[in-house]
Structure 1
Amino acid sequence: MAAIDVSALMPELLLIAKKAGEAIMQIYNQPASFTLITLKSDQSPLTQADQAANDLISVRLAVLTPNVPVLSEEGKMVPYEERQAWPLYWCVDPLDGTKEFISRNGEFTVNIALIVGTTPVAGVIYAPVTDELYFTDGQNGAYKVKGNQESVKLAVIGKTDTLIAVKSRSHGAPEEIAFLNQFSVADEIRVGSSLKFCLIAEGKAQLYFRHGPTMEWDTAAGHAILAQAGGKVTGPDGEPFTYNKPSLLNGSFLCTAWQ
């Protein structure tokens, strides 16, 4: 499987993310009583919007890069025995922040990442409610586009004497509070989904620690974008944070606005 030129594909990737967002918004804008919610085997919620976005992204990626496999939250689970041989693949969360979608707070995203080996290289995050795109091709920095405005290059603000931490809107653990106590945190921002990575990438926060479980598709696109904006994603003790593991469940991780 040959490497692909993500920079050449980026216009279409951005369009795919936006079209998935449009499919989500068609359901989001209906009365809540019309939004069908079911529970997956792990008791996490699944909506019509998750499935609609997944179907659209999967079909369009297959057309765009027919030789690159797709690993998606709402797609067929691929056993490690098969995917361990993949040199690269798309890692997709068609609707990240389903709880935010259900609660109607607008803080949900479409996540598409390209994993090469065990590292997220390129990524697209789209926030449909605010019409904001965050993206990187993995070589030329990270960018944000809001609506029809010009793209803005993202850059972290680095480490300062006092820090701004970003925290989850729907999740939290005592371990996270204890871990952050080792830093000089002066303020915090709470937000849902992969937008936490984006806030650090665009210089609005500097620190995010997650103790509770996530999946690889929850973090891959944000990881790629933050890295290209000058930040870093590691394990709590600075160890590499890798992908395409035997288990797709992530351990604890730390996002910082510095290397």
Structure 2
Amino acid sequence: MTGIPKNKNLQTAIKASLNAGKAIMEVYDTAFNVEIKDDKSPLTEADKKANDVINSYLKSTGIPIISEENRRIDYAIRKNWDTCWIVDPVDGTKEFIKRNGEFTANIALVEHGRPLLGVIYVPAIKRLYFADVQKELAYSADLPSHGSSIDMVDAIAKPLKPKTPSNSVEVVGSRSHMSQETMDFVEKIKSTGKEVNIVSKGSSLKFCLVAEGNADIYPRFAPTMEWDTAAGQAICNAVGIKVISEDTKEALLYNKENLLNPWFVVSNQ
């Protein structure tokens, strides 16, 4: 037993993610339209529907919500929030449009800028990742349906275990277009005599690769927003993996005045 039922906020976030996943897949199986937002990123009906579903669950907690698809709330208001939800209803919309299955629904609960709980749901394969940072527990569960109960999740969830460091280092990156900064990072690891292999995944699944032991390091030297990383950071932090800002050399923080993240490195090294 994972103890999910004892944590009502985690229970609510899991239910929200599974129901969002159902809404996402209903759109995925149709000839959906793609809009382009002001920031040039794509938007589909799945983003909107999943956002509505997740908001409907999280509003019951009385905790304010920062979401990619919600109206941006001014920092003059947000700075007074000790606790908030940070949500990306469809992380990896480009992957969704490509129909490669590597997209997720991300929900995190943050207190004083630090992730407490994280849920990542991969609706295309019905895989759920979730974590309680304070209890240092993180799990994955391969579910029979989007309608799986909390008791079902609790019964089949397996603890996540990071990889034991070795001479072979799996680095999360893009096979097709690695940035120069990432290539330099890889060369630096190679210079220590270690063998480097590149593993690739879309969306917040990059965090999950490290947390579940299928990669060692995820360097991100490109823009991300808080909703792209908060749930993944919670899952990593719960199993002792740090997510470190390249600017501050400290952990990434949330509900900042500017919701854009600095570059960062996720590592179990």
Q: TM-score, normalised by structure 2?
A: 0.88
Q: Supply the distance in 2 between the matched residues of 1:250 and 1:9 (Cα, whole angstroms).
A: 25
Which AA in structure 2 matches 1:108?
F
- Structure-2 residue corresponding to 1:119: 114
Contact 2:47–2:89 at 8 Å: present in 1 too? Answer: yes
Instruction: Select the residue among 205, 215, 237 that pairs with 2:225.
Output: 215
**2:171 pairs with 1:165:** yes
1:247 alignment partner, SS class:
coil
Q: Supply the distance in 1 between the matched residues of 2:55 and 2:175 (Cα, whole angstroms).
A: 28
- Structure-2 residue corresponding to 1:35: 32
- Structure-2 residue corresponding to 1:71: 66
Deviations, residues 11-61 of structure 1 (Å, cap 9, x unaligned): 33211101000000000011xxx3111111110001110010001111111
Contact 1:165–1:185 at 8 Å: present in 2 too? Answer: no
**2:65 pairs with 1:49:** no
- Structure-2 residue corresponding to 1:142: 138
Contact 2:12–2:57 at 8 Å: present in 1 too? Answer: no
- Structure-1 residue corresponding to 2:148: none
Contact 2:242–2:251 at 8 Å: present in 1 too? Answer: no
- Structure-2 residue corresponding to 1:152: 158
Which AA in structure 1 matches 2:35?
T
Q: Supply the distance in 1 between the matched residues of 2:176 and 2:26 (Cα, whole angstroms).
A: 24
Give unpaired runs (5+ residues) of structure 2. 145-154
1:182 alignment partner, SS class:
helix
Deviations, residues 178-201 of structure 1 (Å, cap 9, x unaligned): 122211352111110000000100
From the superposition, tell whether residues 138 and 254 of structure 1 become closer, same or farther in structure 2 (CA, over 3 Å).
same
Instruction: Select the residue among 248, 259, 267 that pairs with 1:256.
Output: 267
From the superposition, tell whether residues 189 and 6 of structure 1 become closer, same or farther in structure 2 (CA, over 3 Å).
farther
Q: Cα distance, 1:162 vs. partner?
A: 2.1
- Structure-1 residue corresponding to 2:150: none
**2:211 pairs with 1:205:** no
From the superposition, tell whether residues 72 and 169 of structure 1 become closer, same or farther in structure 2 (CA, over 3 Å).
farther
- Structure-2 residue corresponding to 1:191: 201
Contact 1:6–1:122 at 8 Å: present in 2 too? Answer: no
From the superposition, tell whether residues 251 and 37 of structure 1 become closer, same or farther in structure 2 (CA, over 3 Å).
same
Contact 2:174–2:198 at 8 Å: present in 1 too? Answer: no
Contact 2:186–2:196 at 8 Å: present in 1 too? Answer: no
From the superposition, tell whether residues 58 and 159 of structure 1 become closer, same or farther in structure 2 (CA, over 3 Å).
same
Deviations, residues 146-190 of structure 1 (Å, cap 9, x unaligned): 114711111211422220011247874221111222113521111
Q: Cα distance, 1:91 vs. partner?
A: 0.1
From the superposition, tell whether residues 59 and 21 of structure 1 become closer, same or farther in structure 2 (CA, over 3 Å).
same
Residue range with higher mean Cα deviation, 171-180 or 110-119: 171-180
Which AA in structure 2 matches 1:146?
D
Instruction: Select the residue among 235, 240, 245 that pairs with 1:230.
Output: 240
Q: Supply the distance in 1 between the matched residues of 2:88 and 2:22 (Cα, whole angstroms).
A: 15
Give unpaired runs (5+ residues) of structure 1. none
Contact 2:130–2:140 at 8 Å: present in 1 too? Answer: yes
From the superposition, tell whether residues 27 and 83 of structure 1 become closer, same or farther in structure 2 (CA, over 3 Å).
same
- Structure-1 residue corresponding to 2:185: 179
Instruction: Select the residue among 92, 98, 103 that pairs with 2:93.
Output: 98
**2:58 pairs with 1:61:** yes
1:143 alignment partner, SS class:
strand
